[in-house]
Structure 1
Amino acid sequence: MQTTTIRTLPTSGASVKNLPVNLFGAVMGIAGLALAWRGAAHLFGSSSRIADGIGVLALLVFAVLTVAYLLKWAVFPDAVKAEFTHPVGGNFFGTVTIAILLLSGVVAPWNATLQHLAWTAGALSTLVLAYVVVSRVLKGNVAAANVVPAWLIPGVASLDIAVTGGAWSHEVNMLALGIGTAIAVVFYVLIFSRLVHGEPLPAGMVPSLMVMIAPFEVGFLAYANVTQHIDMFAAMLFYFGLFMFLVLAPRVFRRSVPFAPSWWAISFPIAALVNAALKYAAVADSAAVTLLAAALLAFLTVAIAVLLLRTLYSLYNGKLLAG
């Protein structure tokens, strides 16, 4: 079976029309790295300026991508509509809402009002997207080839509401936790079954396999934030996510998988793993867990740097926005 392709109008050369919405995954990854270094400041005593600098970069990347995608929407509305209605590509609009939610966490120490505004916008848009995605799926006749890890993004986005929300948003956090958990569980089973019984994912979609760890690590962070403690259940979520990372890493990090914007799909799940590891290490009182958290933070930092440099080079040589 072949995955349905997004219908686009023909263009020649580089064009904003070819800007993929999944590039907002870069904001997710960079913002997640900023939050990880903020956690490292508490655990290891590293300078908070590192987190602040990375956070500013995340805001700048988000601003540039937002302006560019709004331009795409204004000039090529049919292309945006085709991307949104696509059974696979439409799920990547969750990268925009997750980016807003994570940025609300990034700006939290700087300005509480801005944090609340960003979180509210991110939460509302995430819940609307979750409604649209679930409604779309329940229409039926979904091709098995379209059941891919990207389906988890709207569910993970709902969990991120609870990750970044404060005590002032308890009921919304609980609503999001319920929606995100149910979507993640149901979709995870469907995706796992498709990966076991169906054809292998196309090379371009292989990096998105790393999204399979996100429900557990983001679930850990959401549960810990809502309950304000880390118990055995939270530890189970963390360790299973870590197990899946070890299982999937050899399949994802291969030279045969060409670089594309889809590679940013690895950044946020790993950032969630790192943030969970740092938070768990703070209460586990284990040298091994602390060392693991440090190693994962170093890996994430290098991975984000490589992805950013390769993306900039791809933009420079015209391949990033090529038709």
Structure 2
Amino acid sequence: MEASPTLTAGHSRLAHYPVAFFTLGMGMMGLTLALRAGEGAFGLGPEASRAALVLSLTLLGLVAAGYLAKALFHPAAVAADWHHPVRIAFFPAMPISLLLLSVALLDEAPSLAGQVWIAGAVLQALLALSVIAAWIGHRPFSHAQLTPVWFIPAVGNVIVPISGVPLGHPEIAWLFFSGGLVFWIVLLTLVMNRLMFHDPLPGRMVPTLMILVAPPAVSFVAWLKLTGEVGAFGHILLSIAYVFALIVGTQLPKFARMPFALSWWALSFPLAALTIASFAYAEAAASADHRMIGAGLLGLLVLVVSGLVLRTLLGIWRHEICRPE
């Protein structure tokens, strides 16, 4: 008995279920934490961030279930993702979502937050080491394959201290922070060389330029957790994040001409990280100016994520996603 065309088409789409979908989880969890930071800065109740957390968990669960189904029914396709020079960098987005969830659970469920943090940290370590081992192996890479997406494994490392320090794991937090910082600097050099001296990014990868903002913004928040003060290095990290945000802003006319793709979700988490960093500095330095910067960024983040969710749902409805590249 032959399978129906509908089932066959659905099975084929599952084989092309993108690992990049996990950036949706990062973006939604980033929105949750940014809302929570805004609530704290302005003395508001937690209703908005709690609602965002429920929505984030729902979407993250759906994304994880979809990729698990792909792994069960199309293991060769998952292996192809792993061996792809660009898609491999999206795998650490899975533990990053868990680490962000642990931050979101710190106040209301610290015991559960600790368990989620351990799972996220272990998976982050395994995937980050595996990705780096693949990078420094004997596979040749071309400059065209180097994109800001490669920052994702480094970003995951510097997220670990944000909940790791409050949970009582400072030494592990410093270990991850140090490794993430080193590889951010290495990758920043490589990516800037690619952007300045080689062919421009392909159209659908242009939004990933926003990922340049994430490492210094997240590192600033982690630095505050590790040291308890802004310090000179903290000022440098936050300033670098703002500089990269301004540089990405010069590319907005290009963004407006690009068709929608899942790569647009690259706008969400870095913007959330910059928002959270601004509120964190506002609290640490009693800066009303940074609190207003954070508020403006939060408003922009809500608009961006709302648009991305709606456009992603429309893309799923139109079968524009889960198609061969």
TM-score for both structures, normalised by structure 1: 0.93
State the match for 1:219 in structure 2. 219
Between 276-285 and 85-94, the greater mean CA deviation after superposition: 276-285
CA contact (8 A) 2:106 2:163 kept: no
Deviation per residue, 1:237-271 (Å, 9 max, x gap): 11111111111123156221111111111111111
How far, CA to CA, are the matches of 2:322 and 2:256 in structure 1? Answer: 23
Determine if the alignment matches structure 1 residue 288 to structure 2 residue 289.
yes
State the match for 1:241 in structure 2. 241
Instruction: Tell me which of 131, 134, 141 is aligned to 1:133.
Output: 131
State the match for 1:255 in structure 2. 256
CA contact (8 A) 1:104 1:118 kept: yes
State the match for 1:3 in structure 2. none
State the match for 2:4 in structure 1. none
CA contact (8 A) 1:208 1:266 kept: yes
CA contact (8 A) 2:35 2:48 kept: yes
How far, CA to CA, are the matches of 1:158 and 1:243 in structure 2? Answer: 22
Any gaps of 5 or more consecutive residues in structure 2? 1-7
Letter in 2 for 1:44: F
Letter in 1 for 2:270: P
1:56-75 aligned at under 5 Å gives the runs 56-75=54-73
How far, CA to CA, are the matches of 2:14 and 2:110 in structure 1? Answer: 34
CA contact (8 A) 2:210 2:248 kept: yes
SS state at 2:58 partner? helix
Aligned residue pairs total 314
1:1-323 aligned at under 5 Å gives the runs 15-140=13-138, 141-167=140-166, 168-252=168-252, 254-323=255-324
Between 127-136 and 303-312, the greater mean CA deviation after superposition: 127-136
Larger RCO, structures 1/2 (Cα 8 Å, 6+ apart): 1
How far, CA to CA, are the matches of 2:163 and 2:308 in structure 1? Answer: 25
How far, CA to CA, are the matches of 1:286 and 1:119 in structure 2? Answer: 31
- From the superposition, tell whether residues 54 and 128 of structure 1 become closer, same or farther in structure 2 (CA, over 3 Å): same
How far, CA to CA, are the matches of 1:101 and 1:88 in structure 2? Answer: 22
- From the superposition, tell whether residues 200 and 54 of structure 1 become closer, same or farther in structure 2 (CA, over 3 Å): same
Instruction: After TM superposition, give the deviation of residue 13 of structure 1 in Å.
Output: 8.6
Letter in 2 for 1:306: G
CA contact (8 A) 1:12 1:322 kept: no
Deviation per residue, 1:171-192 (Å, 9 max, x gap): 1101101110111111111111
Between 290-299 and 223-232, the greater mean CA deviation after superposition: 223-232
How far, CA to CA, are the matches of 2:98 and 2:288 in structure 1? Answer: 34
What value does the CA root-mean-square deviation take over the aligned residues?
Answer: 1.7
How far, CA to CA, are the matches of 2:252 and 2:132 in structure 1? Answer: 28
How far, CA to CA, are the matches of 2:87 and 2:322 in structure 1? Answer: 17
How far, CA to CA, are the matches of 2:9 and 2:252 in structure 1? Answer: 31
State the match for 1:4 in structure 2. none
CA contact (8 A) 1:207 1:252 kept: no
How far, CA to CA, are the matches of 2:211 and 2:117 in structure 1? Answer: 22
Letter in 1 for 2:113: Q
CA contact (8 A) 1:123 1:161 kept: yes
User: How many percent of aligned residue pairs carry the same amino acid?
Assistant: 32
CA contact (8 A) 1:14 1:319 kept: no
Instruction: After TM superposition, give the deviation of residue 136 of structure 1 in Å.
Output: 1.6
Any gaps of 5 or more consecutive residues in structure 1? 1-9
TM-score for both structures, normalised by structure 2: 0.92
SS state at 2:91 partner? helix
- From the superposition, tell whether residues 132 and 13 of structure 1 become closer, same or farther in structure 2 (CA, over 3 Å): closer
Deviation per residue, 1:77-99 (Å, 9 max, x gap): 11111001111110011111111
- From the superposition, tell whether residues 283 and 111 of structure 1 become closer, same or farther in structure 2 (CA, over 3 Å): closer
SS state at 2:260 partner? coil
CA contact (8 A) 2:229 2:284 kept: no
SS state at 1:15 partner? helix
How far, CA to CA, are the matches of 1:144 and 1:69 in structure 2? Answer: 29
Instruction: After TM superposition, give the deviation of residue 134 of structure 1 in Å.
Output: 1.6
